[in-house]
Amino acid sequence: MNPHDETPLPHGADAPGFDASGAVVPGAAESAGLAVEHLPPMVPAQDDAQAAAPQEWQAPLSEQAGVESAQVMEQADTAEDVTADGVDDAQTADLQSLDDAAFKGVAEGAPEDAAAEDVAEPALLLEGAAPAEPTSPAVLDNYVAPTISAAKAAADFVAQIFAEVRASDEPEAAPLPIAEVAPVADASDAVQEPQGRPGEGMAPLQDKNVLVLGLGASGLAMARWCVRCGAQVTVADTREAPPQLAQLQQELPGVRFVAGAFDASLVDGQGLHAVYRSPGLSPATFAPVFQAAKAIGLVTGSELSLYAAALAYLRSQHAYAPCVLAITGTNGKTTVTSLTGQLVERAGKTVAVAGNIGPTLLDTLAGHIDAGTLPEVWVLELSSFQLDDVAGFEPTAATVLNITQDHLDWHGDIHAYAAAKARIFGQTGLMVLNREDAEVMQMLPPPVRVKLQKPQQREHLTFGADMPRRPGDFGIEIVSGMPWLVRALEADETRKRSRSEAEEELHIQRLMPADALRIRGRHNATNALAALALASAAGCPLAPMLYGLREYRGEPHRVEPVALVNGVEYFDDSKGTNVGATVAALTGLGADRRIVLILGGVGKGQDFSPLTTPVARYARAVVLIGRDAPLIRAALADAGVALIDAADLPQAVDAATQRAHAGDAVLMSPACASFDMFKDYEHRAHVFCDAVRALAQDAGQSVEGV
């Protein structure tokens, strides 16, 4: 299986909103309790003790204190510690050293009609500090803000936050490793019961005969889980000796293995209770077995089906009721999944991250059961393969980030592909929707009309690169040319509205400058908004999440900076394995430079024509490699840029270098799968980086970041 995700896009290294050390984090304008109370409630209500928030006090900015805080540095001794801003971490304030247990930071911008030089500085709120005992007397001086630009306002208020938090006397909050944190009380009590580990002898599978199709990572995980639950398991694979066979036979000697074609004989007369398929199997491969199973009333499903059933069992038998946050989409899944997990952990909750590209759902669940560390929150990355035909999966909140053409060879057409993605929402969970994607917005069901009542709309919120439109929505606001991550709140929650009022009056809450993110590109700003929305649905306060956003460095091979050689910057976007990912990467990088683009590989039946407009606008030249290079050439014939063929990737790097000018970027974002020329996308990335390294050595330059 080749999961395909988006990649981070760069912004200028000198982007506004950074202090002298390169660090930018949000300020605060109002209580961080707003982080969740304006979203649809997706977690159990707090009791009175929990709801009683610590007293908070407002303090104006202290210009001088911000300079002192910038002296907090982190050590950087490996090339991988170069920040996405192009600033070495030895010059970047160490966010980990800050005591964010002592404060909440929610940035609120200036009034809508404020001129650029009159942008008000956000106020700071400290949590847990008594009003009568301010942290720093200097902060309480009568301070008159000078006339400043929007960019300087952002940089100054960020420096001030560092100073205020640094001044706190409370001890630093330690990181929360999942395996070392005690689980939530109800779940931990259940795990410690003497009846045995949760999941052992699970009633639906005890003493049942189960067939697992496919012996990949997911198939092996399903076999382990079913044996754990007391089932008699048979594993079938079309290969005589799949790579995991030896491990299966060693770990689970009681499991029967069958090699050969998938047909009805695997079901007929076998006394089976259920058949589960691995997500990597194509529908044509497992269809004969599933058809035979359904014809005689057998249960059919996948690893996700087993995971959902396991959570339902743990809830009923052990009172374990975690929040489940689920992420899918053509591009951005891995980034948003990793980022959401980091935000949840930064907010002090125990979390497990699992799914599409590993670790597997069931192995992760079993590991936490055995360790007694069942988490409060699950963050799951799910592919269309995993979601296809799933039933019974009911997450707390879920998102479909976007829909563009991908895996059409597996699903058949774009409508079947989108339908598989839409299954992630279940029937009851909060829907987190990309309002700029028409395919995604069509997944929102129409309002249900109830007699004598207003139509009932399913709980949902939206995110996008534009301004938010409803209370709870997330978006981006441009303030004097600088983009801010923002959230919409209801301007006056107490005022009753007449039925004739179509538009809700909104208060726009500015959270942090988009350029404060280490991951590059406007599309990564929207990824950050999706992660904020999901983590908020799990009850996470906003302030520590904003710190988590600033700390997140992105995923490998997603518009990853490789080197700067003779004024040309090289980017590895090997994970850009579909047209949508490459369009996003090209658009983001092309905002401030010209691009020489390397394209090609196995197209998986995609339409390459959506590349034409961004290539014409942002590319200086395109270098083509791989099996489907002729198809890409035909699609880009009218783009008006040079199209150059290369026999292999090192030759493509040489050709791109010859075409690039100082100040340009060479972007390898193939828009294709890699298996015509490479083992996988990681192998392709390594070949690209080796070629760039050779260029740098020939030029007598060091290579940063490779």
Active-site amino acid positions: 333, 356, 407
Helix (H, G, I), strand (E, B) or coil at 600: strand
- Residues whose CB falls within 8 Å of the CB of residue 229, separated by 6 or more in sequence, listed in order: 199, 200, 201, 202, 204, 205, 206
Query: Residues 271, 274, 280, 281: is their CA dihedral positive or negative?
Result: positive
Element (H, E) at 313: helix 303-318
In angstroms, the CA 434 to CA 328 distance is 12
With b for 16 or more beta-carbon neighbours within 10 A and e for fewer, the 254-282 pattern comes to: ebebeeeebeeebbeeeebbbbbbbbbbe
Whether omega before 359 lies within 30 degrees of 0, making that bond cis, reads yes
Helix (H, G, I), strand (E, B) or coil at 578: coil
- As a residue count, the chain comes to 706
Residue reference for tokens 């006394």: 271
The C-alpha angle 114, 115, 120, rounded to 5 degrees, equals 55
Q: Render 126-167 in DSSP notation, one character per residue.
A: EES--TTS-S-GGGGS---PPP--HHHHHHHHHHHHHHHHHH
Residue 323 to residues 307, 351, 367: CA-CA distances in angstroms? 14, 9, 18
Residue 280 to residues 23, 252, 303: CA-CA distances in angstroms? 42, 22, 11
Of 111, 361, 59, 414, the closest CA to residue 221 belongs to 361
For the sheet containing 397-400, what is the strand order? Answer: 351-355, 377-381, 323-328, 397-400, 430-434, 460-463
Query: Residues 552, 555, 556, 561: is their CA dihedral positive or negative?
Result: negative
How many contiguous H segments (helices) and E segments (strands) does the chain have? 22, 23
Paired strand residues for 351: 377
- Residues whose CB falls within 8 Å of the CB of residue 698, separated by 6 or more in sequence, listed in order: none
Gyration radius of the chain over CA positions:
26
- Residues whose CB falls within 8 Å of the CB of residue 115, separated by 6 or more in sequence, listed in order: none
- Residues whose CB falls within 8 Å of the CB of residue 598, separated by 6 or more in sequence, listed in order: 622, 623, 625, 646, 649, 652, 653, 656, 666, 667, 668, 669, 670, 688
